[in-house]
Structure 1
Amino acid sequence: MHAFLPHAMLLGIGATALLDLWNLALHRLFKLPLPPWHFVGRWFAGLPRGHFVHRNGIAQSPPVAGELAIGWVGHYLTGIVFAAALLLIWGLQWAAQPTFGAALVVGLVTVGAGWYILQPGMGVGVACSKAPNPNLARGLNIAGHVVFAIGLYGTALLARS
């Protein structure tokens, strides 16, 4: 058990960092907006106060002190939780002998966390249904989680050597 948390942290941080590099590349190459981590932080900050849904959109909710930092920390903690889920399901031995299939399953299944928890909570609707271009947003969500899966797998391979 003492190896579980360090492995989950390493895998989650590595995979999330690759996702951030992906988002930066999309921003620089295609001028797509960067993820609004300050709004994610605002959403996370509301949870302890019982504010789970921002019906009029998170942008209409009052700013919270430190929301950008809260968003970034929440983003990386979420990556660690998803990596921990992978290790709980496939076992710690997965980190020693990683398979891309397991990482891809986790990557694709966790799209649901954004579609059914975060996005409705931020007032964007289920699976970005209220976004200006829902299909583009959904496609980017799926692609991002595939990149996250590549990050899980790649980090595990790098950590083995």
Structure 2
Amino acid sequence: MPEAVEFLLAALLIGAGATLVMDAWTVVRKRMLGVPALDYALVGRWLGWLARGRLRHQPIAASAPVRGERLLGWVAHYLTGIAFAAILLGCWGMEWARLPTLGPALVVGIGSVAAPFLLMQPAMGAGIAASRTPRPNVARVHSLVTHAVFGLGLYVAGWVVSLLAEPI
């Protein structure tokens, strides 16, 4: 298999798998702790307005809905997970995909919290690192834990892919 195809396939499977783990965590977190999951329709709304030239909202929930925002948000959510898996593979190489280790997966997973802290939350009206939310420190902890779970998901998905694809 060509190296580029191998890389893209590994990023797709590992990223989608890790995002699925993260989504499972949000379901568990909601049931156990009563913490609502992010409404990905709002992500789709932000992207829909971004395509029309509007970056910031105060808050995004007050902005007019865009057609297909829920689907757009969910697709963007999974594509983002795939992109972070590609970053992992780009930094640690395809050898990581053949023999995954926890450290790099957690570095990328926890590091991925920079995206919501510095881009999504400010653009959606929540401020940098949720600073404009009613309980910013609680929101930050939930984000960090969720992205650490995503990192764990990268590791688990990496192992599953490595076992199923010998060799990738």
The normalised TM-score by structure 1 is 0.97
How far residue 126 of structure 1 moved from its aligned partner, in angstroms, is: 0.2
Q: Deviations over 1:17-63 (max 9, x none)?
A: 00000000111111111211111110111222221111x20011001
How far residue 160 of structure 1 moved from its aligned partner, in angstroms, is: 1.7
Runs in 1 of length 4+ with deviation above 6 angstroms?
A: none
1:101 matches 2:103: yes
User: Are 2:18 and 2:81, in contact at CA under 8 Å, matched by a contact in 1?
Assistant: yes
1:24 matches 2:30: no
Q: 2:68 aligns with which of 49, 53, 66?
A: 66
Counterpart of 1:18 in structure 2: which amino acid?
Answer: V
Distance in 2 (alpha carbons) for counterparts of 1:156 and 1:34: 25
Q: Please give the secondary structure, in 1, of the residue aligned with 2:74.
A: helix
1:158 matches 2:164: no
Match of 1:14 in 2: 17
Give structure 1 stretches of 5+ with no counterpart: none
User: Are 2:12 and 2:82, in contact at CA under 8 Å, matched by a contact in 1?
Assistant: yes
Distance in 2 (alpha carbons) for counterparts of 1:99 and 1:65: 41
Distance in 2 (alpha carbons) for counterparts of 1:139 and 1:36: 18
1:38 matches 2:41: yes
How far residue 105 of structure 1 moved from its aligned partner, in angstroms, is: 0.7
1:50 matches 2:53: yes
Query: Structure 2 matches for 1:122-137, cutoff 5 A?
Result: 122-137=124-139
Counterpart of 1:45 in structure 2: which amino acid?
Answer: G
Q: Please give the secondary structure, in 2, of the residue aligned with 1:3.
A: helix
User: Are 2:10 and 2:161, in contact at CA under 8 Å, matched by a contact in 1?
Assistant: no
Give structure 2 stretches of 5+ with no counterpart: 164-168
Q: Please give the secondary structure, in 2, of the residue aligned with 1:45.
A: helix
The normalised TM-score by structure 2 is 0.93
Query: Structure 2 matches for 1:104-115, cutoff 5 A?
Result: 104-115=106-117
Counterpart of 1:96 in structure 2: which amino acid?
Answer: R
Identity score, percent: 46
Q: Deviations over 1:110-141 (max 9, x none)?
A: 11111000000101000000111111110010
How far residue 6 of structure 1 moved from its aligned partner, in angstroms, is: 0.6
Match of 1:81 in 2: 83
